[in-house]
Structure 1
Amino acid sequence: MLALHHTHAHPVSARLSRFGAASVLTAAAVAAPALIPGALSSAQAASLATHALDVAASKQGAPYQWGATGPYRFDCSGLTQYSFKRAGKKLPRTAAAQYNSTRHIAASSRRIGDLVFFHAGSSASSVYHVGIYAGSGRIWHAPRTGATVRLERIWTSSVWYGRVR
């Protein structure tokens, strides 16, 4: 898209011949997600998730408080909501609603920054806890009353994964 910043005025056809149709089509494909509200390229989604993870990690030691959404106290879904909001993406308030708003993925497809949902049954309404995947089987989360935001190993196999879109 360098031609758009060129000092000489060239008609569009000159731009096409200069950069080649393939380059223009490639540029359009890369730019298209920015034109569709709510759509993210995989690179943008990864950057968003990494930024959210960094925000959550920066809250290490913040006390748990039921219903708290930050910036100094959090419950589990308050931490994830706060972290993704700072990264530029709005999430619903509760863990179950966050589960319903993500793209569900297999454990084998999980990536750093994906959400990890703990559940006690087979339906979305059984989701009772959420954290942000940090890699190596660990999450950043606000665990419970009397605890603080921390990095911890996933302690059960009763989890589902979701990717914020």
Structure 2
Amino acid sequence: MAQIQVGDILPSVSLKFCPYDSSLKNACGIPQNLKTDSFKGKKVVIFGVPGAFTPTCNNNHLPEYHEKYSDLVNKGVDQVVCLSTADAFVMDAWGKWANVSDKVIMAADGNGDFVKATGLVQDLTKNGMGAVRSKRFAMVVDDMKVVYIGVEFGVSVSGATAVLAKL
């Protein structure tokens, strides 16, 4: 599939997440569905990372979105979603470890349904990370329509600062 572009409608896909629990001791119970259809009528920033706890994702990408959350909200963003092809338990643990609280929804695309449907999938078997991984990206979705997308290796077009400049 071709990569999703500005002007495209976000595909209907179901992701998994663990609802935020203020007690860091509580592990995720039963992951809940997060359907992309729930973004209808909202402005949502979705950023994808190749792997939880990986160096660039952990040290640069996720922290910047957490730090700039209020700025994003002030620009009209309703939700910020971090997406990876990990499972919901890993995403929950990463969110707790990074202390993102309820600001960033840590969404799991465990089967790669979202990244495949949007053309944002990459094969990282050569790095020992598996055949279905997310590319590093950020997109702004306004009422299900993609109004910005940045895909890259680093964080110059997919980081929170780049997204803020596009809002």
Relative to the length of structure 1, the TM-score reads 0.28
- Structure (1 or 2) with the larger CA radius of gyration: 1
- Which structure has greater helix proportion? 1
Question: Which structure's relative contact order is higher, taking Cα pairs within 8 Å and 6+ residues apart?
Answer: 2
Relative to the length of structure 2, the TM-score reads 0.28
